[in-house]
Structure 1
Amino acid sequence: MKKSLYISAFIALFAMACSDETLNKIDTNPNIIADAPLNTYLPAAQTLVVQRVIGSLVILSGHAVETTNFTGINTATRFQVGDAANLAVGGGDNWSGGFQALRYFKNIRTKAEQQQRVGYGAIADIMSAYTLSLLVDVYGDIPYTEVGKEDVIQPKFDKAQELYIEMQKLLDTGIQKCDQATTAASRPANDDMIFKGNMTLWKKTAYALKARLYNRLSNTNGQETAQQALAALTNSFGSNENFTFTDFQDTPQNGNQIAQVGITQGTIAIAEGIITALKSYLEPNEDILADPRATIWFTRIGGKVVTTPTSRATTDVTLNGTTYSKPLFYQRRTSPLPMLTYTELKFIEAEAQLRLGDRTKAYTAYEAAVRAALTQASIFNSAVALTATQINAYVARPKVLMGADKLTLKDIITQKYIYLTVFQTQEAYNDVRRTGLITLMDPDGTAKRFPYPVNEISRNSNAPQASDINTVYQDNARLFWAKL
C-alpha cells in the first residue's frame, strides 16, 4: 500500500490552494497587500518567498531526499523516509505563498513601469523567474498565465516546458532592466532586502539562475545545455558573491523559518541518505565523524551519530534528541538562507565541462566546488567554521580528489548533494530526480513531484491527472527534465 496520508502539525496550516477560493482570499484578505508603495511591496514580496515558499520546500525536500526524517509525529503512524508527498498532501505554504508572491511581483512590475523605476522592475522579473522555478520544479505543470484574471475561475495549467521558456525570458528582461537602472532614483535601496539595490549583483543573480535552469535540462540536450550553462556562468558570481538572504532576527516571527521549525517542533532528525553520501568518501572502517562536516552538522547520542530507521515514526521530540541525532543547522534563527551560491555554480561548471568532455576543466571546477562547500559548511553558524587544516585533510583523501581521469558525474552530484544539505534541499531534490545518481532507501521510491493541494484537485478541473498522493510515484508523473 502507498504511504499513509498524514499531515504533520507544523504544516497543517498549509491547506490553501491556487483555485478561485485562494485568489479571492488574496484579493480580500486584510493581511494581503492590495496596494502599496514600491518600497513596501518589494520587501514584502521578497520575505514572502523566503519565509513561506523556500521555508516549506526545504523542510519537505529534505524529507524527500533523506537528509532528514520526522520523528515523534505519531507512534502508530508509519511512513517512509522520503515521503515528502505524504506531508504535502494538504498543500503547502510553498503553493499558496508562491502564487501570492508572483502576484506581488507582477504588481511591482506594473508600478515600476508607471513610475519609471526600472530597477524595481528588474528585481521583480528576476524574483518572478526564481519563484516560478521553485514551483515548477516540484509540481511540474502549474497555473500561471491565467492566474489572477477576473473572468477565469479555473485557471489552466501551463506546461512545465513552456514555463522554462518563460523563466528564461523573464531573466533576459531582468538583465536588460538592470543595465537601464543607472540612477539612484530608478532602483531600490535598503528596501531591497537581498542586495540593497545593487543592480550588478542582481544581474549576476539572473545569469546564475540561467545557468541553473540550463543545467536542469541536461537530459534534454546534454551538449547544448552544457554550453548554455557555461556561457551564463561567465557573467555570474565571483568567489565571494551569493544569492543569499541574511536579514533574519532571533525571533520566531522574523527568524529563519527553517530553523524555527527545527527549534519549535523538535521532530526533525537525521536520515540515512546524507550519512550514506558522507561515508562514500571515507574508508570502510571509519566513523562518520571522520568527515569534518558531520562534527558540526549533527548532534550525537552517546558520542555517535544515530539515524532514524526507515519507514517507522518514533517518539523523539526534544531539540537535541535522546534517541536520534538532530541537525544542528536547524537551530539558529539568524542563520543566513542561501538560495543560489558561487559553490553551486562551480558544481554546475564541473558537470557541464564533464559533459563536454573537458576533464581538466571539469576537475578544476570540481576541486574548487568541494573546497568552497567545506568553507560554506558552517554558513548556519560561523563559530563552527572548519579550519584550513580540516579542509586540506579532507580533500587530501584519494576518494575525494581522485584525479581528472577518474572524476565521474556521480562524484560531482554526490558532493553537491552533501553541500546542499544545509538549507538547500529543494535543489538536492531536483538533482536526485534529474540524475538518478543518489541512492535512497525508500522502498516505494522517490516521489516524482509533489502532489497538488487537495483543494486544487477538487476545485480546478484543469489539474493534471498525475497530481495526488497515489499518482506522484508513477512513471507518468516524472517531470520532463528528470530521469526519476
Structure 2
Amino acid sequence: MKIRTIYKLFLGLVLSFTATSCEDFLDVNADPNNPSYIPVENRIIGAITMSNGASQWRASREITAVVQYAASGLRASGAETWNFSASNFFWQNAYTWAIPNCVDLVVQGQEEGSPHFAGVGRTLEALNFGMLTDQFGRIPVTSAYDGVSQVNLTPSFDEQELVYQLVIEKLDEAIAFFNASENAKGLNQAGGDIMYQGDVNKWRRFAYSLKARYLNHLSKKSNYDPQAILAAVENGFNADNMDAEFPYLEGGQATEANPWSNVGYGGFTSPTSPRYFSYTQFFVDLLKTLPVTNSAYTDPRIGIIMNPAPADGEFRGLIPGEGVPGGREGNGPFFNGDDYGRVTGGFYSRPDSPFPFMTYSELKFIEAEARLRSGDNGGALAAYEEGVRANMRKLGVPADEIDAFWQAVLDDGVNAHFNDLTTGLSHIMRQKYITQVFNPETWVDMRRMDFSQDIYGPSLRQPSNLNPLFGPGEWMRAMIYEGNEMVRNGDNVGDNSPEVRLKTPLWWDTAN
C-alpha cells in the first residue's frame, strides 16, 4: 500500500531527528555526513503527522478525562480528578517536533517557489499554536523557532491576546499562499499529502474553517465579531468529505493505528493498561436525552460509538473518579468492565479510525453559535440541523433514523429553544460535544460555557475524589507548563504551581 510506504519513509526521517536531545534536534549546525536537506514534497508528511501524533494526540490525551469523555476505571486517577503535575508531553512534542516541521515547510516552500507548501505549513503552524495557547495561555510565538534564526532555548512568552492575533495572521497568510497561481511543485507530488491528496481548495477551506474557530473562541470578549466569523465560515468547509483528519491504518505497525484503539501506539486503552477504557456516564446521558428538556430519547449514534453491556444490553459509563466496580446509583453493581461503554472498538477508536483536526460538523455548529449570538435565530437553527445531520451521515446512521431523530428534536420544542440564547446554546454545545469526541477543542467550549448545567445538562458534575485544590463549583481552567520548560526557562514560565495554573482562567475565558 503506497501510504504505508510513505509512513515508513517518514518514520526513518523522524528517527534521525529523535535519536538526539531537544537541543540537538534543533541544532542549526549541519552534519556534512548526514545532510539535513529534504525536498519540500517530502516534508509535508512530517508537518501533518507531527501535528497529529506528537501534538493533537498529546493535547487530547491530557484533557479527555477533564471534559469527561472517558474514565480510567481506576478510582481517583490523576487526570479525571484534576491532579496534574508538570509531566505533560504536549508542550515538548509541539515545540520540538510539530512546529519545526511546519515552519520548515513554510520556509522551504517559499524558497523553492512552491507557496502552496508554505500554506500547508502556516495552516498547521497556526493550529499547533492555537491548541497550545488554548491549554496553557501565554506561550512563545514571536521568539519560537522560525526556520532561519539560531534557536532560542529560553524564549519569552507572548500574552494570549497577542497569540490570538498572530494565529489569525498566520491563517490569513496561509490563505494568501493557497491563492498563489505559480507553484513549482504540486502538494502531492511525492504522495506526501496524506490528508487532502494535493487538493489546494480543501486546504484553503481548512484554513478558513480554523479562522472561524479561533474567532469564535472570543465569545466572552467585547471584540467578539459574529460577522467576521460568518465571513470565514462562508469560505470554509461546505460539504461532507471535507474534514481535515489524519488517516490511521489497520494492519500495520502500532504507530500507524489510531492511538485510542486497542492496538494503537498510545496503548492506554488496552486491557493491560486501561488509562481510559470506558466512556463516562455523562457522555452516555447526553446520548440518551434531548437538550434543554432532558427528555429521554436514545441517539442513534450511541451504538456506533460504544457497545452495550453484555449483562443487560444497557448503555452505561463510569462516574469520573469512582472507578470500577460501581456504576450509577440504581443500576446495581457491575463488576465486569465490559458492562460499561468501552472506549475501544467504536467509531472513534478502531485501528483505522481517522482523528480529525476539524470537521464540517464543527464548522456548522460554529456558524450556528455566531448566528444565534447575532440574532439570526432561524439561520442558527438551520446551521445547527446541518451540523447534526452531517455528523450522523459521517457515522453511517441510516437516513430514516436521522429523520426520526430530527423529528423528535422538533417535537421537543427546538424552534422555541432557539429564540433564547441559553437554550439555543444548550442544543449547539451538547451536539457539538457528541461530534467532537477526544478533540481538545471541547475543553475550550466547556470553559466558554462555564461548565454550565443549563448548557450541558444535570449530569455534568465535578468528579468524585476531586483534587482538594478545587472547591464546590470550581472547574479546571488551564494546564500546568511542562517540567523541562520550567527547569530551562523558569523565569519566563513564572508561577507554575498547580493552585495557580489549574485555577486561573485564560485571557479569552474572562469577560471584558
Shorter-chain TM-score tier: 0.7 to 0.9
- Residues 275-294 of structure 1: per-residue CA shift (max 9 Å, x gap): 232344188784x7x22222
Q: 2:14 maps to which residue?
A: none
* Residue 447 (structure 2) pairs with residue 433 (structure 1): yes
Q: 1:386 to 1:330 in 2, by over 3 A?
A: closer
* Partner AA of 1:482 in structure 2: D
Please show how residues 245-264 of structure 1 align to structure 2 within 5 Å: 245-246=246-247, 248-251=249-252, 252-259=254-261, 260=264, 261=267, 263-264=269-270
Which moves more between the two structures, 258-267 or 212-221?
A: 258-267
CA contact under 8 A between 1:90 and 1:453: conserved in structure 2?
Answer: yes
* Partner AA of 2:43 in structure 1: Y
Match of 1:131 among 104, 110, 128: 128
* Partner AA of 2:500 in structure 1: T
Match of 1:277 among 273, 286, 289: 286
C-alpha separation between the residues in 1 aligned to 2:447 and 2:404? 32
Match of 1:102 among 99, 115, 131: 99
C-alpha separation between the residues in 1 aligned to 2:115 and 2:372? 39
Deviation, 1:105, is: 1.8
Match of 1:294 among 302, 318, 322: 302
Q: 2:318 maps to which residue?
A: 308
CA contact under 8 A between 2:41 and 2:185: conserved in structure 1?
Answer: no
C-alpha separation between the residues in 1 aligned to 2:375 and 2:35? 51
Deviation, 1:214, is: 0.6
* Residue 57 (structure 2) pairs with residue 55 (structure 1): yes
C-alpha separation between the residues in 2 aligned to 1:151 and 1:388? 54
Unaligned runs of 5+ in 2: 1-19, 327-335, 419-423
- Residues 276-327 of structure 1: per-residue CA shift (max 9 Å, x gap): 32344188784x7x222222222333222232233234489xxx93353212
* Partner AA of 2:397 in structure 1: L
Q: 1:247 to 1:82 in 2, by over 3 A?
A: closer
- Residues 370-410 of structure 1: per-residue CA shift (max 9 Å, x gap): 2122222x2xxxxxx21112212211114786343322212
C-alpha separation between the residues in 2 aligned to 1:171 and 1:418? 27
Q: 1:322 maps to which residue?
A: 338
Q: 1:16 maps to which residue?
A: none
User: Partner of 1:412: helix, strand, or coil?
Assistant: helix
* Partner AA of 1:458 in structure 2: V
C-alpha separation between the residues in 2 aligned to 1:284 and 1:461? 47
CA contact under 8 A between 2:478 and 2:505: conserved in structure 1?
Answer: yes
Please show how residues 12-91 of structure 1 align to structure 2 within 5 Å: 22-27=22-27, 34-72=36-74, 78-79=76-77, 82-83=80-81, 86=84, 89-91=86-88
C-alpha separation between the residues in 2 aligned to 1:166 and 1:205? 17
Q: 1:331 to 1:244 in 2, by over 3 A?
A: closer
User: Partner of 1:253: helix, strand, or coil?
Assistant: helix
Q: 1:194 maps to which residue?
A: 195
C-alpha separation between the residues in 2 aligned to 1:33 and 1:466? 41
- Residues 333-373 of structure 1: per-residue CA shift (max 9 Å, x gap): 11112211111111011110110111111111111112122
User: Partner of 1:338: helix, strand, or coil?
Assistant: strand
C-alpha separation between the residues in 2 aligned to 1:483 and 1:34? 44
CA contact under 8 A between 2:300 and 2:397: conserved in structure 1?
Answer: yes
User: Partner of 1:339: helix, strand, or coil?
Assistant: strand
CA contact under 8 A between 1:118 and 1:186: conserved in structure 2?
Answer: no
User: Partner of 1:397: helix, strand, or coil?
Assistant: helix
User: Partner of 1:220: helix, strand, or coil?
Assistant: coil
Match of 2:399 among 382, 388, 408: 388
C-alpha separation between the residues in 2 aligned to 1:39 and 1:245? 18
* Residue 494 (structure 2) pairs with residue 461 (structure 1): no
C-alpha separation between the residues in 1 aligned to 2:165 and 2:245? 25
Q: 1:210 maps to which residue?
A: 211
Please show how residues 174-189 of structure 1 align to structure 2 within 5 Å: 174-183=174-183, 185=185, 187-189=187-189
Q: 1:400 to 1:63 in 2, by over 3 A?
A: farther
CA contact under 8 A between 1:117 and 1:185: conserved in structure 2?
Answer: yes
Deviation, 1:124, is: 0.8
C-alpha separation between the residues in 2 aligned to 1:151 and 1:26? 7
Q: 2:478 maps to which residue?
A: 449
Number of residue pairs aligned between Structure 1 and Structure 2 = 442
Q: 1:356 to 1:455 in 2, by over 3 A?
A: same
CA contact under 8 A between 2:133 and 2:139: conserved in structure 1?
Answer: yes
* Residue 501 (structure 2) pairs with residue 480 (structure 1): no
Deviation, 1:181, is: 4.2
C-alpha separation between the residues in 2 aligned to 1:313 and 1:27? 46
Which moves more between the two structures, 326-335 or 159-168?
A: 326-335
Q: 1:166 to 1:293 in 2, by over 3 A?
A: same
C-alpha separation between the residues in 1 aligned to 2:21 and 2:495? 22
Match of 1:360 among 352, 362, 378: 378
CA contact under 8 A between 1:89 and 1:452: conserved in structure 2?
Answer: yes
* Partner AA of 1:312 in structure 2: E
Deviation, 1:208, is: 0.6
Q: 1:116 maps to which residue?
A: 113
Deviation, 1:177, is: 1.1
CA contact under 8 A between 2:368 and 2:383: conserved in structure 1?
Answer: yes
Unaligned runs of 5+ in 1: 1-19, 379-384
Deviation, 1:84, is: 5.6
C-alpha separation between the residues in 2 aligned to 1:197 and 1:212? 23
C-alpha separation between the residues in 2 aligned to 1:242 and 1:219? 27
C-alpha separation between the residues in 1 aligned to 2:380 and 2:217? 17
C-alpha separation between the residues in 2 aligned to 1:310 and 1:192? 39
CA contact under 8 A between 2:114 and 2:183: conserved in structure 1?
Answer: no
* Partner AA of 1:120 in structure 2: F
Deviation, 1:34, is: 4.3
Deviation, 1:40, is: 2.3
State TM-score, norm by structure 1.
Answer: 0.83
* Partner AA of 1:387 in structure 2: P
CA RMSD of aligned residues (A): 3.0
* Partner AA of 1:121 in structure 2: A
Deviation, 1:160, is: 1.5
* Partner AA of 2:285 in structure 1: T
CA contact under 8 A between 1:449 and 1:478: conserved in structure 2?
Answer: yes
C-alpha separation between the residues in 1 aligned to 2:95 and 2:260? 17
Q: 1:137 to 1:368 in 2, by over 3 A?
A: same
C-alpha separation between the residues in 1 aligned to 2:432 and 2:285? 14
Q: 1:322 to 1:137 in 2, by over 3 A?
A: same
What percentage of residue pairs aligned between the two structures are identical? Answer: 23
* Partner AA of 1:298 in structure 2: M
* Partner AA of 1:418 in structure 2: I
* Residue 366 (structure 2) pairs with residue 369 (structure 1): no
